[in-house]
Amino acid sequence: MLTPMRWTQEGLYLLDQRLLPRHEQWNLCETPEEAAEAIRDMVVRGAPALGLTAAYGMALAARQLANEEACHSENSDSHRDRDPLDRHSYMDRIFEAATMLTDSRPTAVNLSWAVKQQLEVAAQTVGTGGGVGDLYGALIDKAQKMHEEDILTNRSIGRHGAALLRDGDRILTHCNAGALATGGYGTALGVIRFAHDAGMNVQAYATETRPYLQGARLTAWELTRDGIPVTLIVDGAAGMLMQRGDIDAVVVGADRVAANGDTANKIGTYQLALAARENSVPFYVAAPTSTLDLDTPYGSGVEVEKRDPAEITQFMGEQTAPDMVRAVNFAFDITPAELITGVITENGLAEAPLLESLERMIRVNKPHGGDSGA
Amino acid sequence: MLTPMRWTQEGLYLLDQRLLPRHEQWNLCETPEEAAEAIRDMVVRGAPALGLTAAYGMALAARQLANEEACHSENSDSHRDRDPLDRHSYMDRIFEAATMLTDSRPTAVNLSWAVKQQLEVAAQTVGTGGGVGDLYGALIDKAQKMHEEDILTNRSIGRHGAALLRDGDRILTHCNAGALATGGYGTALGVIRFAHDAGMNVQAYATETRPYLQGARLTAWELTRDGIPVTLIVDGAAGMLMQRGDIDAVVVGADRVAANGDTANKIGTYQLALAARENSVPFYVAAPTSTLDLDTPYGSGVEVEKRDPAEITQFMGEQTAPDMVRAVNFAFDITPAELITGVITENGLAEAPLLESLERMIRVNKPHGGDSGA
C-alpha cells in the first residue's frame, strides 16, 4: 500500500513529494521542528497527511523530552523524584510543539484536529502521573492508530463514493487527494480506486494543478502505478471537456469544509465547480469528517494561505516570467456550498443542504469513540 | 513599437516567442515553407500575427518564383516570351503556398482571411498581365499594408475598449493578445495599453496560461517593458480573484469569433467567462473584424486544434509527469456568446445580441475599401 509516511525507530520518514515522479526519496524527521519544516516546505501535503505528520510530530516532541531525560538521568540518580514542575515544563514543551505544528500551514484544519487529539492524550497521560516515557509511548500509539484509522476512513469514503459512480464513468479530479495526500488509499482518488478495485470500468482525468503540478507529478503517478487509466490536462481545459460531455463526475478533496459546506481546496477548484454546474456534471467533495470544521460557519472564515510568488515565476529553478514581475500565489480557494452536489465522508454522503447533513455525518461517528476520523 | 515581425530584403524576421522572456532571437524565414513551419512550431502565435505571417509568406512564395525566373533567364534569352501556361504554373505554386499557410494551424481564421486577400491580389496582378516580379511587388506591398493597418486597427480597438474602463480598474487577461500576438500594439493588451497611455490608472492581471505560459512569458514581459503594472497568477486563481472583488473587467483576444458571437480562444477562456458571469464582472473579447468569421454560424463549427501532449507532460525538455501518461492538449476552447458582454472591434463595441451587432461591425467597415482589417 502506497503511503507517504513511515514510522521507524529512527523517527518519521516522509516521501519527498517535491521530487516525484522522478525520484523516490525518503526524508527522516527526528524532531517536531523537522516535521513542521517538512509541512511548510511541502515535502508532505494533503490535509489528512498533514494531520498525521503533525500527530507524529507531537510524538517526536515527546521522544525529544524522553531523550533529554535519559541524558539527564545518566548525570543524576534523583530522576525518580520527578517533581510536578517537571511535568509542567514537559507540557510547556508539548504545547510549544503543538503550536508550531498547528501553525505550519494555515488552511488545512486537519493539522489542528490532529494536534488537539494528541494534546488530549498528553494531558491524560501526564495528568494520571505518566512520565515522559509514557507520554512518548501514548503519543506514538495514538499517531499510529490515527494513521491506521485514516486508511480505513479512506476506504469507507471510497466505498460511499464508488456507489455514486456508474460503469464507464470519466471522473475529473484536481490536485492530489490520493494515497500521497493521506495515510494511504486517498479520499477523491480513494473513490476512483475503490470503483476500479471493484471491477468498475472507470477512468480519471487529472488537472495538472499549477503551480505545484500535484496532478501531473503525483495523481498521474499514483494512478498509473495502480493501473488506473488517467489522462492529464491543463487546469484551463476542464471546462471545455465538460462542455464536450467528456466528464461524468468531478471528485476533489478538501483542506477544510466549513459548517455550511463551503469548501477550501486547492486553487482552481472553484472554477471547476462553476464549470460542473454549468454543464450539469455532479461535483463531489471527498473528505473525512476530520476535515469538517463546524466551528467555522462559512468559507469566508477560512484563512487562505498565500505562498511564495516564485512558485509561479520560476519552474524547477528556472525563471519563466520576467524578473521583477509581481505575482500572487493563493494556495487555495473557496467553493461555495451551493456548487457542491455532496460531500462524501467515511460515514456516507452529505447532500444539500450541507449545513444539516454535514453535522449528521459527524454525529453518526460520535458513538464509535469520539475520534471523528475513526 | 514592439512588433513580432520585421520585413527586410533578406525576408521575414520573426521574433522567436518560444524563447521569451529569456532570449530575444529573431529567426529569418526566406520561403513560404519556413513561414508555415514558424507558425506550426509557435515561433509566432496570436491570430492577427499569424495572419500577417501568412500574408508575408505569400510574398515569399512570389519571391521564390521571381528568383527561379531570374535563374532561368540567365540560361535563356526567351524569358520575355512567357506563355500563358507559365502564368498558370505561377498561380499553381501560389495556390500551393496558400493552402500550406492556411493549413499551418486550424483555429485562427486570420490565416485564411489574410491568404484570401493575397490570392485576390495575385489573381488581379497575374490577370492583368503582370509577371512574377510584379506579383512579388504586389504581394509584399499588400503584406506591409496589412501590417500597418493591423496596428491602426489595434489602436482603434484600444480606444473603443478603453472607453469601457474606469480609472483604477484591474483588468484580467488570458494568454497574450498583445503586441506580440499582432502586428503591434495588441488587441486585449491594446485596450489596457491605450487606457494606460491616456493617463488612466489601470493595472493588468495576467494568467500564466498553461501549457505554453504565454501569460507569464509574453504578456508579463511586454507589459512590464511598457511600464504597465501587471500581476501574474496561475490560471486556476482567476475565479477566486473575481470572487474576492479584485477584478473589474476581463478582456481577452480571440482566434475566431463565429457569426453568433461564440468565441474560440486560448484554452481556459471559457472557465474565465463562467467565473466572470458568476461574479458580475464584464467579459470582453477584443478582436479585429478580421477575426470575425460570419461563414461559421456557431462555435461548434470551429475546428479546435489538438497539440502535442508533450507540451503538458514536459517542461523545458524536462519530464514533469510520469512516462507514458496519456494527456490531451486542446489549444483552444469555445466561449458561448451568452457569456460575452461585448466584442470590442476597431469599428466599435458589438453588444448582445452579437449575431446582429457583429455583422454591423463588418458592414461599417465595407465602405472604407473592403479590407475588413482596415
Asked if A150 is an active-site residue, the reply is no
Among residues B102, B122, B153, the one where a domain terminates is: B153
Q: Are residues A120 and A187 both part of a single domain?
A: no
Residue B373 lies in a domain: no
Tell whether B274 lies on the interface with A, counting CB pairs under 8 A: yes
C-alpha R_g of chain A: 21
Torsion of CA A132, A136, A137, A140, to 10 degrees: 170
Q: Is the peptide bond before A21 cis (omega within 30 degrees of 0)?
A: yes
Residue A293 lies in a domain: yes
Q: Are residues A119 and A37 both part of a single domain?
A: yes
Interface test with chain A among B20, B218, B326, by most A beta carbons within 10 Å: B326
Is B211–A234 a contact, with Cβ atoms under 8 angstroms apart? yes
Is B328–A22 a contact, with Cβ atoms under 8 angstroms apart? no
Choose the closest CB to B316 out of A267, A315, A325: A315
β-pairing, A314-315 vs B326-327, is: unpaired
Count of A-B CB contacts under 8 Å: 187
Q: How many domains does chain A have?
A: 2
Range of the domain at A186: 166-368
User: A95 and A122 in contact (C-beta within 8 Å)?
Assistant: no
Q: How far apart are CA B168 and CA B251, in angstroms?
A: 15
User: B101 and B39 in contact (C-beta within 8 Å)?
Assistant: yes
Beta bridge partners of A232: A206, B327
Residue A330 lies in a domain: yes
Which residues numbered 310-349 in B keep a CB inside 8 Å of some CB on A? 312-313, 315-316, 318-322, 324-330, 333-334
Is B231–A327 a contact, with Cβ atoms under 8 angstroms apart? yes
| Residue A349 reports pLDDT greater than 50 | yes
Q: What does each of the 374 residues of chain B score in pLDDT, given as a tens digit?
A: 899 999 999 999 999 999 999 999 999 999 999 999 999 999 999 999 999 999 999 999 999 999 988 887 766 655 455 444 477 788 999 999 999 999 999 998 999 999 999 999 999 999 999 999 999 999 999 999 999 999 999 999 999 999 999 999 999 999 999 999 999 999 999 999 999 999 999 999 999 999 999 999 999 999 999 999 999 999 999 999 999 999 999 999 999 999 999 999 999 999 999 999 999 999 999 999 999 999 999 999 999 999 999 999 998 778 889 988 999 999 999 999 999 999 999 999 999 999 999 999 998 765 443 343 33
Q: Are residues A97 and A128 both part of a single domain?
A: yes
Looking at residue A72, what is its pLDDT? Answer: 75
Q: Are residues B116 and B201 both part of a single domain?
A: no
Shortest Cα distance from A191 to chain B (angstroms)?
A: 20
Q: How far apart are CA B270 and CA B174, in angstroms?
A: 11
Residue A264 lies in a domain: yes
Looking at residue B105, what is its pLDDT? Answer: 94
CA contacts within 13 A on the Cβ side of B359:
9
User: B191 and B161 in contact (C-beta within 8 Å)?
Assistant: yes
Q: Are residues A70 and A180 both part of a single domain?
A: no
| Residue A366 reports pLDDT greater than 70 | no
Pull the grid cell for residue B260. 453568433
Shortest Cα distance from A249 to chain B (angstroms)?
A: 17
Task: For residue B307, give the CATH number of its domain.
Answer: 3.40.50.10470
> The dihedral of CA B366, B371, B372, B374: what is its sign?
negative
Shortest Cα distance from A178 to chain B (angstroms)?
A: 16
User: B255 and B108 in contact (C-beta within 8 Å)?
Assistant: yes
Is B325–A220 a contact, with Cβ atoms under 8 angstroms apart? yes
Q: Are residues B221 and B287 both part of a single domain?
A: yes
Residue-wise pLDDT for B134-168, tens only, equals 999 999 999 999 999 999 999 999 999 999 999 99
Q: How far apart are CA B335 and CA A191, in angstroms?
A: 31
Q: How far apart are CA A238 and CA A302, in angstroms?
A: 26
Q: Where are the alpha helices (DSSP H) in A103-131?
A: 110-127
Choose the closest CB to A325 out of B230, B240, B327: B230
Task: For residue B110, give the CATH number of its domain.
Answer: 1.20.120.420
- Residue A309: its chain B contacts at CB < 8 A? 232
Is B322–A240 a contact, with Cβ atoms under 8 angstroms apart? no
Choose the closest CB to A240 out of B207, B267, B309: B267
Residue of chain B whose alpha carbon sits nearest to that of A331: B237
CB atoms within 10 A of CB A103: 14
Shortest Cα distance from B249 to chain A (angstroms)?
A: 17
Looking at residue A170, what is its pLDDT? Answer: 98
Q: Are residues A41 and A97 both part of a single domain?
A: yes
Among residues B153, B188, B206, the one where a domain terminates is: B153
Beta bridge partners of A29: A12
Pull the grid cell for residue B37. 513551419
Looking at residue B368, what is its pLDDT? Answer: 45
CB atoms within 10 A of CB B308: 11
Q: ipTM for the complex?
A: 0.92
> The dihedral of CA A92, A94, A97, A99: what is its sign?
negative
> The dihedral of CA A69, A75, A81, A85: what is its sign?
negative
Q: Are residues B83 and B172 both part of a single domain?
A: no
Q: Are residues A196 and A341 both part of a single domain?
A: yes
Could you tell me the strand order of the sheet in which A292-293 lies?
A292-293, A256-258, A263-266, A332-335
Shortest Cα distance from B321 to chain A (angstroms)?
A: 5
Beta bridge partners of B203: B170
Pull the grid cell for residue B105. 494551424
Residue of chain A whose alpha carbon sits nearest to that of B304: A240
Q: How far apart are CA B27 and CA B38, in angstroms?
A: 9
Is A237–B328 a contact, with Cβ atoms under 8 angstroms apart? yes
User: B271 and A275 in contact (C-beta within 8 Å)?
Assistant: yes
Pull the grid cell for residue B147. 501590417
Tell whether A232 lies on the interface with B, counting CB pairs under 8 A: yes
Q: Where are the alpha helices (DSSP H) in chain B?
A: 32-40, 47-74, 84-102, 110-127, 132-162, 188-197, 214, 220-225, 238-243, 269-278, 310-313, 354-365
Amino acid at B108: A
Shortest Cα distance from B302 to chain A (angstroms)?
A: 13
Q: How far apart are CA B166 and CA A339, in angstroms?
A: 32
Among residues A130, A153, A176, the one where a domain terminates is: A153
Q: Are residues A148 and A22 both part of a single domain?
A: yes
Choose the closest CB to B236 out of A267, A309, A327: A267
Residue A15 lies in a domain: yes
**pLDDT level of residue A89 (50, 70, 90 thresholds):** confident
**pLDDT level of residue A268 (50, 70, 90 thresholds):** very high
Which residues neighbour B85 within 8 Å (Cβ) at sequence distance 6 or greater?
Answer: none
Residue of chain B whose alpha carbon sits nearest to that of A330: B237
Q: Are residues B121 and B177 both part of a single domain?
A: no
- The residues of B that are catalytic are 255
Which residues neighbour B351 within 8 Å (Cβ) at sequence distance 6 or greater?
Answer: B341, B342, B357
| Residue A80 reports pLDDT greater than 60 | no
CA A333-A24-A321 angle, to 5 degrees, is 45
User: B121 and B91 in contact (C-beta within 8 Å)?
Assistant: no
CA contacts within 13 A on the Cβ side of B374:
13
Is B237–A328 a contact, with Cβ atoms under 8 angstroms apart? yes
β-pairing, A314-315 vs A203-207, is: unpaired
Q: How far apart are CA B219 and CA B200, in angstroms?
A: 19
Spot the catalytic one: A16, A235, A255, A333.
A255
Q: How far apart are CA A176 and CA A206, in angstroms?
A: 9
Residue A373 lies in a domain: no
* A100 or A90, greater pLDDT: A100
Tell whether A274 lies on the interface with B, counting CB pairs under 8 A: yes
Which residues numbered 16-35 in B keep a CB inside 8 Å of some CB on A? 21-22
Choose the closest CB to A325 out of B224, B240, B316: B224
Is B321–A234 a contact, with Cβ atoms under 8 angstroms apart? no
Is A312–B232 a contact, with Cβ atoms under 8 angstroms apart? yes
Q: Are residues A273 and A300 both part of a single domain?
A: yes
Does this model's pTM top 0.90?
Answer: yes
User: B39 and B54 in contact (C-beta within 8 Å)?
Assistant: yes
Q: How far apart are CA B127 and CA B24, in angstroms?
A: 42
Per 3-state DSSP, what percentage of chain A is helix, strand, and coil (rounded to 5)?
45, 15, 35
